């Protein structure tokens, strides 16, 4: 009964908060205006992140207050949501965003001891322990996940749908391991995202997004995903191998790495926005927004399912890593060929 109450409360809390925050956002100017790369219609309130944080926090604090790591999780998330809201209202420097992200990760490390201490047996030589480099690697990895999720937020419903797939994949891992608390948190988060998607995803009864998650939302979801990637993949009683997290996060990871590598090879900054992400390429190929979101969500779900299947049948870390590298190489080859076919983006829209 408590579980069902938590999930429904998270869903409806997100809906109520989005509805209540929309007019406030318009009043204070917390909106996304179309210009350049942003080709949506009209000013869109940037309240999805705050609504998801509020809905998730209210439910977990009320119904799962005994979780010892909850204060650190919510503190780190709050730092990122506040930073994201400021960034959404008046753009912050990359250094300011990186500092806030680092503070959130340190809260995760110091406040809850959620740290990447080893990478598993990726190359058939035994477990790769990080030793004194564990904290630095954790900061680097979590910040990378946060920003990779941010880069998926380019189409109505895309970032939320991809995050939902990954959260449900992690919930499946927690279910397999019998981790009831983690399963409850992940499903609460999933229903929170669903509440947001009722305003953000395109459907037959909603032709365009009515709210965006903004940087507040993408950083929130990236941080919570990274938290569970680390939490479930470390320790003697880990629920999954670290390499399984690579498969669950495969699509945002591969898209981010290929885009950043392409920017570097062309002499540009790896952090400068452009229209070379996979969702942009699919749109240049002629797919609609809804079709692109469906394709990418299905691809993300397929890659996550492969990782979970490998975990369930007991494939070695090394075998799963070799498989992931093979998929990554295939991804790069296919995307480069598709790019040549569909052509370069319209620079006037960049």
Q: What is the reported pLDDT for 286?
A: 87
Give 2's pLDDT tier (boundaries 50, 70, 90): low
Give 350's pLDDT tier (boundaries 50, 70, 90): very low
Which of the given ranges, 38-47, 92-101, 264-273, has the highest pLDDT on average?
Answer: 92-101
- Summarised one tens digit per residue, pLDDT across range 129-181 is 999 999 999 999 999 999 999 999 989 999 999 999 999 999 999 999 999 99
Overall average pLDDT of the 191-209 stretch:
93
Q: What is the reported pLDDT for 336?
A: 87
Q: What is the reported pLDDT for 348?
A: 47
Flag whether pLDDT at 293 surpasses 90: yes
Q: What is the reported pLDDT for 257?
A: 92
> Around Cβ 283, how many Cβ atoms within 10 Å?
20
- Who's near 224: CB < 8 A, 6+ residues apart? 73, 77, 189
- Who's near 204: CB < 8 A, 6+ residues apart? none
Contacts 24+ apart (CB under 8 A), 329-337: 331/254, 331/258, 332/254, 332/258, 335/258, 335/278, 335/281
**What distance in Å separates the CA atoms of residue 189 and residue 49, rounded to the nearest whole number?**
12
**What distance in Å separates the CA atoms of residue 244 and residue 103, rounded to the nearest whole number?**
26
Flag whether pLDDT at 344 surpasses 70: no
Overall average pLDDT of the 257-276 stretch:
79
**What distance in Å separates the CA atoms of residue 11 and residue 193, rounded to the nearest whole number?**
8
Q: CA dist 187 to 158, 174, 217, Å?
A: 19, 10, 17
- Summarised one tens digit per residue, pLDDT across range 69-101 is 999 999 999 999 999 999 999 889 889 999 999
What percent of the chain clears pLDDT 90, i.e. is strictly above it?
A: 76
The owner of tokens 């452009």 is 274
Q: Select the more confidently predicted residue: 247 or 33.
A: 247
Flag whether pLDDT at 346 surpasses 70: no
Number of separate helices (H) and strands (E) present in the chain: 13, 2
Mean pLDDT (the chain) is: 91
Q: What is the reported pLDDT for 107?
A: 97
């Amino acid at each position: 009964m408590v579980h069902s109450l938590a999930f429904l409360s998270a869903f409806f809390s997100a809906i109520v908060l989005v509805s209540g925050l929309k007019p406030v956002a318009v009043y204070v100017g917390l909106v996304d205006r179309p210009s350049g790369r942003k080709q949506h219609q009209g000013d869109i309130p940037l309240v999805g992140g705050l609504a998801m944080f509020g809905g998730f926090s209210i439910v977990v604090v009320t119904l799962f207050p005994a979780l010892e790591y909850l204060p650190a999780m919510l503190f780190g998330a709050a730092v990122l949501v506040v930073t994201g809201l400021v960034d959404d209202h008046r753009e912050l420097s990359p250094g300011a965003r990186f500092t806030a992200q680092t503070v959130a990760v340190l809260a995760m490390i110091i406040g809850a001891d959620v740290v990447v201490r080893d990478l598993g047996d990726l190359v058939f030589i035994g477990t790769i322990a990080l030793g004194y480099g564990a904290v630095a690697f954790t900061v680097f990895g979590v910040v990378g996940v946060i920003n990779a999720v941010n880069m998926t937020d380019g189409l109505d419903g895309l970032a939320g749908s991809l995050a939902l797939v990954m959260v449900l994949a992690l919930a499946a891992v927690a279910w397999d391991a019998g981790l009831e608390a983690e399963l409850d948190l992940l499903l609460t988060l999933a229903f929170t995202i669903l509440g947001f998607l009722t305003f953000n995803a395109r459907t037959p009864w909603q032709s365009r997004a009515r709210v965006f998650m903004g940087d507040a939302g993408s950083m929130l979801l990236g941080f919570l995903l990274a938290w569970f990637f680390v939490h479930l993949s470390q320790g003697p009683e880990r629920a999954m191998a670290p390499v399984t997290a690579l498969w669950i996060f495969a699509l945002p990871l591969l898209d981010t790495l290929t885009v950043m590598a392409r920017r570097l090879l062309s002499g540009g900054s790896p952090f400068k926005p452009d229209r070379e992400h996979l969702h942009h390429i699919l749109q240049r190929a002629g797919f609609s927004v809804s079709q692109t979101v469906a394709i990418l969500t299905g691809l993300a779900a397929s890659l996550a399912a492969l990782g979970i299947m490998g975990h369930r049948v007991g494939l070695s870390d090394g075998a799963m890593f070799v498989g992931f590298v093979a998929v990554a190489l295939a991804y790069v080859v296919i995307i480069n060929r598709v790019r040549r076919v569909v052509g370069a983006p319209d620079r006037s829209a960049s």
